[in-house]
């Protein structure tokens, strides 16, 4: 009876030890995952901001002007505005 009591006690000890180690290891793993995900989230946020910036750049007048110069748009290629409506009304 006494031996059985000792064995159970040792068993509980070992189980508690094993449980403790398991919890400790899994908490380390979770911590590591939290760290990784936080870093990934931050990287994604950075990428988003970079993409937003590129989108804003592509819609900017500065960008349009670059292409205007590149493709040779100049005053001769300007449309005729309403100041000379006779063109539109065929009254030239």
Partner 1 sequence: MTKLRFLLMGFLAVFAIVIIRLFFIQVLFPDAQQDYLSTRKLIPQRGRLFDRNGQPLVMNQLLYRLFFEPKLIKDAEKTTYSLAKLLDLEEASISSKINPSKNWVAVTTGVTKEQKDAIVKLNLPGMGFDDMWNRYYPDASLAAHLSGFVGKNDEGTDVGRSGVEGFYNKDLSGLPGLIRSDVDLQGKPIFLGTQERIDAEDGRDLYLTIDKSVQKIVKDKLVIGMQKYEAKEGCAIIADPNTLEILALSCIPDYDPTTYFDFSNAAFRDTAISDLYEPGSTFKPLVMAAGIEKGVIKPETKFNEDGPVKIGEYTIQTWNNQYEGNITLTRALEKSSNVGMVFVGSKLGKNNLYDAIQMFGFGSLTGIDLEGEVPGYLKKKSDWYPIDYATATFGQGIVVTPIQMIRAFSSIINGGKLMRPYVVKELHGEEIQKVEPQVIRRVISEKTSDAMKKMLLATIENGETKYLKPKGYQIGGKTGTAQIALEGRYDATKTIASFIGFSPIKHPQFIGLVVLKEPKSSQWGSETAAPVFFEIAKELIVYYNIAPEQL
Contact residues toward partner 1 (CB under 8 A) are 6, 9-10, 13, 23, 27-28, 30-32, 34-35, 46, 49-50, 52-53, 55-57, 59-63, 81-85, 89
Complex with partner 1: residue 24 or 72, whichever CB lies closer:
24
Alpha-carbon separation of residue 16 from 26, 27, 28 (angstroms): 15, 16, 18
The distance of closest approach from Cβ of residue 15 to partner 1 in the complex, given in angstroms and rounded to an integer, is: 13
Distance from C-alpha of 31 to C-alpha of 37, rounded to nearest angstrom: 10
The distance of closest approach from Cβ of residue 60 to partner 1 in the complex, given in angstroms and rounded to an integer, is: 4
The distance of closest approach from Cβ of residue 6 to partner 1 in the complex, given in angstroms and rounded to an integer, is: 6
Complex with partner 1: residue 15 or 56, whichever CB lies closer:
56
| Nearest to 80, CA basis, from 88, 71, 90 | 88
CA atoms within 13 A on the CB side of 13: 6
């Amino acid at each position: 009876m006494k031996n059985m009591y000792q064995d159970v006690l040792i068993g509980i000890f070992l189980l508690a030890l094993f449980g403790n180690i398991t919890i400790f290891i899994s908490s380390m793993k979770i911590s590591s995952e939290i760290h990784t995900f936080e870093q990934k989230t931050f990287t994604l946020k950075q990428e988003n901001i970079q993409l937003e910036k590129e989108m804003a750049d592509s819609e900017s007048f500065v960008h349009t002007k670059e292409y205007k110069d590149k493709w040779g748009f100049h005053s001769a290629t300007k449309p005729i505005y309403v100041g000379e409506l006779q063109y539109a009304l065929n009254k030239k």
